[in-house]
Amino acid sequence: MKKIEQVDQFDQLLTKGDPFFFFKHSLTCPISASAYKEFSQFAKNNEEVETYYLAVQESRELSSRIAEQHGVRHESPQVFFFKEGKPIWHTSHNKIKEQTLKEQME
């Protein structure tokens, strides 16, 4: 699981086109802390897919850009699954569970 902080870093991920999960994490929200644990466990148990995250408070520009660029309302916590540079699935808050993430790869 790698931290992404800059718009250009994220754009490089989209350009590559490889499938990846991206988690938007709030450093101050207890729901986000729980979702972060689920996402971390998923990343640890599914190393065949790339996983990335940002801390909303540290990367507001990137967080806003993702919402605007892909037409998905910003939420935190929020997770996306990207394929070929496009978000094909997303969810937020208490719906972020290791099993739910794993199901998206099937």
pLDDT per position as a tens digit, 31-71: 999 999 999 999 999 999 999 999 999 999 999 999 999 99
Cα–Cα distance, 62 to 104 (Å, whole number): 24
What are the C-alpha distances in Å from 80 to residues 30, 37, 97? 20, 16, 13
Asked whether the whole model's pTM tops 0.75, one would answer yes
Band of residue 6 on the pLDDT scale cut at 50, 70, 90: very high
Amino acid identity of residue 79, one-letter, is V
Residue 83 parent element (H or E): strand 78-83
Cα–Cα distance, 87 to 58 (Å, whole number): 22
Average pLDDT, the chain: 96
